[in-house]
Amino acid sequence: MSQIEPRILQPRRRPVQQRSREKYSRLLSAAREVLVEQGFESFTFDEVARRAEVPIGTLYQYFANKYVLICELEREDTGAIIAELQKFSARIPAPQWPELLANFIDHLASVWQADRSRRAVWHAMQSTPTTRATATAIEKPLLEIIANVLRPLLVGNTRIDRQELAGFLVHTVTSLLNYAVGDHRDVQHTVEETKRMLVSYLFAVATAS
């Protein structure tokens, strides 16, 4: 008996006109505030609509439920990371993988420290098989960028192998940042140790391949 694949959560629609886009952005900002202050279990559309100063029906025009809304926040966060890596690549035409890895870790650490909603969204995305499947789909473009940068290091590996390794790197970094930021530890120390550990790991993988 074949296993049913979890569906990917998408908004019912996204705004086109400028005024609607501003309202949409206000909804997402309000959702972040509620998520940080009340947690995902207590997260309600009523509170998001109240803070965004819109009728609750407006929320339902875009999002079927809170899981869809959280996935849209994850798209925002992942898109921001991709944009940062692309800016870095534009500054350095042929970035070496240690440079890109360090840039990725530094950027992620800075935004997780500055914006508490990033960690809250990451936690909420682990809540159901469907949100986890959606997170996997959302991160694919990010993994593709990292996998391409790793190509010169992992000459004997396939594209799928490199993407799986990129996923391992991303999930390792986010898990360690969750540990450091959540427990109010020395985040910079964790960042430097994470860089050292992952660079050593990648050299070991390259040597073995």
- Which pLDDT score is estimated for 118? 94
- Which pLDDT score is estimated for 1? 47
Per-residue pLDDT of the chain (209 residues; tens, 9 = 90+): 455 667 899 999 999 999 999 999 999 999 999 999 999 999 999 999 999 999 999 999 999 999 999 999 999 999 999 998 888 777 665 567 788 788 888 988 999 999 999 999 999 999 999 999 999 999 999 999 888 888 888 888 888 999 999 999 999 999 988 888 876 668 888 899 999 999 898 888 888 76
Both tokens of 145, joined, read 């960028």
Cα–Cα distance measured from residue 7 to residue 21, given in angstroms and rounded to the nearest whole number: 26
User: Token match 């999930």: residue?
Assistant: 171
- Which pLDDT score is estimated for 87? 82
Give the CATH number of domain 70-208.
1.10.357
- Which pLDDT score is estimated for 88? 79
- Which pLDDT score is estimated for 203? 85
Question: Of 80, 83, 38, 64, nearest to 131 (Cα)?
Answer: 64
Other C-beta atoms closer than 10 Å to the C-beta of 162 total 20
